[in-house]
Amino acid sequence: MDTLIHGTTLLTFRDETLGIVEDGALGIAGGEIAYVGPTDDVDASAETRIDGSGTVTMPGLVNAHAHTRHTLVRGGAQDVPEIEWMNRALGPLANHMTDEDEAVGARLGVLEAVRGGVTTIGEYAGEVGRLVEEVYRPLGVRTVAIETINEVPDDRADLGPRELYPFDREQGEAALDRAEALFDRYGDDPLVEPAYGPQALDMVSPELLGEICDRAREHGRDVHMHVAQGERERLQIEERYGDGETTVSALDDHGAVDDFLVAVHCHGTTPAERERLVEAGARMLACPSSIGMIDGEVPPVADYVERGGVAGVGTDQAPGPGHHNLLREARTASLLSKVEAGDPTALPAWRALGLATVEGAKALGIADAVGTLEAGTAADVITVDVDALGVAPTVSEPLHTAVPNLVHSTTGREVRDVFVAGDPIVRDGEFVDADPEAVVADASERAERVFADAEDDWRAADSELVARAEAGWL
C-alpha cells in the first residue's frame, strides 16, 4: 500500500446508515482505496502510515455547486434586496474582473474549500475549461466542470425587473461549443467530469435549451441549471411565458424535466413541482447559506429528500454567503431546514453529512467513483480531528457523538488530511504543494484594484449598499 490510516473511526457511507467502523483502517494504493475495515484485520506494509487516533476518516466532501471565481469580490454583494443582488450589487464589481482575476479568485476559493475537506467541486463558470487548466489541474482537485451557457449581456444593471433580457443566439451557441469542447478534451480524464450549464430559464431561449436537452439525451450527459431561484427569475418567466407560468411548468413544456436535469436552488418551487421533479429523476442542489443571504429563503432540500429525491449541497459564490466551507454548509442546511419546518428533527446530522458526501456524489453523477469508502473506488479521503477544541469531547457509547459534532461543531479547520485519488493535498493541516499565503496576497492586491476600477459603475447601479457605505456602515 502507498498509505495506511489506522486507529481511526471510519464513516464509510456504504449502506443505509453511515457504516461506522471503530478502530478502523483505510489503505490507499494506486490512487484507489485498497482496504476498508478494522485495524486488527489489515496485514500490509505501507510507505506512509498515519496514526488516526482521535480522528474520523470519511469520504472527501462534495461541494456540488460553486462559482469560485467570484471569491475575489467576497463581501461585495450582501444585505441587499434579492431583486438587486445580481444586476446591481455583484454585476458592477464582477464586470471589472479580468481573466487572470477570475483564475486567482477561483484558486483562493478552491484552496479554502479543500482546506475544509472538499475533494470535489461542481464548478459552474463561463470558459470553465480555463479554470480547469489554471486552477484544478495544478492543485489536483476533482471537478465537475460545468460550462455556463446563456444568451444575455453581462451588464444588465439598467434593466428593470420586468424588462426582458435580450437574447443573443450567437453568444449562446459559442458557449455550447465550449461545453462540447470540454467533453472532447476531458471525456477520459479521471478528475474532470464535464456538464452542460444553461444558466437559468430566463437566460436562455427555448430553442437553445431544446438543443442542449437533445444532446444530453443523446449522449447521456447532465444539464445543470439554476431553477426557480427567486423573484427576479419569476418575473422574467411571467413576462416571457405568460401569467401563471413558472420555471418548472415551462421547463416541463420544453421537455427539460428529465433525469438528466440537475436543478440548483429550487426555492421558488411548489410542493407539487418538487414532486414532479422527483418523479422525473431530476436531482437537486441546495446552497442554503447563499439563498438564505441573497433571497431570505430556505432551499427545500429537506422536503426534496423526504419525497425520495437525490440532493447535494454547495456553497455557490462567496459574495453574499461569504464562504466555501462545506461542513459549515451542512450545518446551515440542517439548521435552516429545522427552522423552516418548525421541526427540530428535520434534516438531522447524519442526513446532512450524507448530502455533503455520498448524496452529493449521486447528485453530480459520480457516485461510482467517490462519496463512499469502498475498496476499488477513488481514494478521495479526509481525516478530521474530533479531539480538537470546540469539537471535543467525542464518545462512541451509547452513541457516536462525532456524527453531530462534525456537522454542528466543526469550523473546517479541524480537517487534518485531504487525499484526492490517493494524492495528498493537505497533510497534518498544511498544504503539501500549494502556497495559500501567496494566493491570499495576490487576491488581496487584485481585489483592491477591481473594487477601485468598479466604483463609478457600482455607485451608478445604486444598490442599497451604496447608501449604507455613504452612511458609514460599510
Is 109 part of a structural domain of the chain?
Answer: yes
pLDDT per position as a tens digit, 12-58: 999 888 999 999 999 999 999 999 999 999 987 899 999 999 999 99
E strand residue ranges, 348-406: 381-385
Is 81 part of a structural domain of the chain?
Answer: yes
Confidence of residue 159 (pLDDT cuts 50, 70, 90): low
pLDDT per position as a tens digit, 390-426: 999 999 999 999 999 999 999 999 999 999 999 999 9
Is 117 part of a structural domain of the chain?
Answer: yes
Give residue 18's pLDDT. 95
Give residue 156's pLDDT. 64
Q: How many domains does the structure of the chain reveal? A: 1
**Type of residue found at 151:** E
Residue-range definition of the domain harbouring residue 117: 61-364
Is 422 part of a structural domain of the chain?
Answer: no
Is 202 part of a structural domain of the chain?
Answer: yes
430: left (phi over 0), alpha (psi -120 to 50) or beta: beta
Is 52 part of a structural domain of the chain?
Answer: no
pTM assigned to the model = 0.96
Give residue 158's pLDDT. 66
**Distance from the Cα of residue 3 to its chain's centroid:** 28
pLDDT per position as a tens digit, 71-92: 999 999 999 998 899 889 999 9
- CA dist., res. 391 & res. 145, Å (int): 34
What is the domain-level CATH number for residue 135?
3.20.20.140
Is 135 part of a structural domain of the chain?
Answer: yes
Which residue, chain included where needed, has cell 450589487?
89
In a 10 Å sphere around its CB, with 0-12 CB exposed, 13-18 middle and 19+ buried, how is residue 184 labelled? exposed
Is 386 part of a structural domain of the chain?
Answer: no
